[in-house]
């Protein structure tokens, strides 16, 4: 009768084979293990691990003797965000929103109509680009702080200030799901694109429909590899 073999992981990451009769082939179980103690039997203290975060030099902002918030370095004004249809009907309107003076009216209309959170006419509704950019930057900054991503608090503040500067000056922008969800959801969906797989079964096909629906709900798009499905 053939012996059945079971695989084990030995010391030093080596793989050993044990037959059903209990014999070992290439076993390292009896090999001497490295000592973790000193000559007098006392345990040796483990070496302290050095954990360092990222350093982040400022590129767009200046710490200066007194830090200036990037929002305070530009002019702001109140505007009306109004979008009309081809027939002249008003399809969206929010009045007296605070935006950077340098922004175009088109940028104002898009940001206010698409990315401001809250029901219009309620106290929860965002009314300023400061609130929009502030909630995104603050959320990302707090994630970085919690994960000890940067070496010092100064590096973290430099990152936060530069990110705020980049966004308010329209030098770059996040994808829509970041603006939609970041700062509101506990675990926000921040990716814009997803690639899904599917198997040639009804259960898998119906599960795909649900997966895509939930991704669409939070503003993302999806693609699917349909190759396994019969034509």
Q: What is the pLDDT along the chain (231 residues), one digit of tens a residue?
A: 444 443 333 333 333 334 444 444 444 445 555 555 555 666 666 666 666 899 999 999 998 888 899 999 999 999 999 999 989 899 999 999 999 999 999 999 999 999 999 999 999 999 999 999 999 999 999 999 999 999 999 999 999 999 999 999 999 999 999 999 999 878 887 877 878 888 888 888 888 888 788 877 766 777 877 888 887
Identify the pLDDT of residue 26.
45
Identify the pLDDT of residue 64.
85
Identify the pLDDT of residue 39.
59
Identify the pLDDT of residue 34.
53
Q: Which residues of 129-147 are buried (b: 16+ CB within 10 A; e: fewer)?
A: bbbbbbbbbebbbeebeee
Helix, strand and coil content of the chain, in percent to the nearest 5, comes to 30, 20, 50
Identify the pLDDT of residue 33.
55
Q: 26 — alpha (psi -120 to 50), left (phi > 0) or beta?
A: left
Pair of tokens at residue 178: 């970041």
Distance between CA 227 and CA 224 in Å, rounded?
9
- The pTM of this model reads 0.68
CA angle 102, 105, 111 (to 5 degrees): 95
Burial of 210 (0-12, 13-18, 19+ CB in 10 A): exposed
Identify the pLDDT of residue 103.
98
Identify the pLDDT of residue 226.
83
């Amino acid at each position: 009768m053939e012996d059945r073999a079971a695989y084990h992981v030995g010391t030093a990451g080596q793989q050993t084979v044990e037959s059903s009769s209990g014999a070992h082939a290439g076993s390292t179980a009896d090999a001497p293990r490295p000592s973790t103690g000193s000559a007098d039997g006392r345990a040796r203290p483990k070496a302290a691990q050095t954990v360092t975060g990222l350093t982040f030099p400022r590129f767009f902002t200046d710490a200066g003797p007194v830090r200036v918030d990037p929002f305070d370095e530009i002019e702001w004004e109140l505007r009306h965000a109004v979008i009309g249809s081809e027939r002249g009907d008003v399809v969206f309107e929010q009045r007296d929103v605070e935006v950077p003076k340098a922004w175009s009216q088109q940028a104002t209309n898009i940001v206010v109509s698409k990315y401001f959170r809250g029901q219009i006419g309620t106290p929860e509704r965002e009314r300023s680009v400061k609130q929009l950019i502030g909630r995104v930057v603050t959320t990302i900054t707090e994630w970085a702080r919690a994960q000890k991503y940067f070496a010092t608090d100064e590096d973290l503040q430099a990152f936060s200030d530069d990110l705020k500067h980049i966004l308010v000056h329209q030098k770059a922008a996040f994808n829509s799901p970041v603006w939609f969800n970041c700062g509101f959801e506990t675990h926000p969906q921040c990716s814009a694109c997803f690639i899904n797989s599917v198997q040639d079964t009804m259960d898998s096909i119906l599960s795909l429909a649900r997966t895509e629906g939930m991704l669409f709900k939070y503003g993302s798009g999806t693609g699917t590899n349909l190759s396994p499905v019969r034509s």
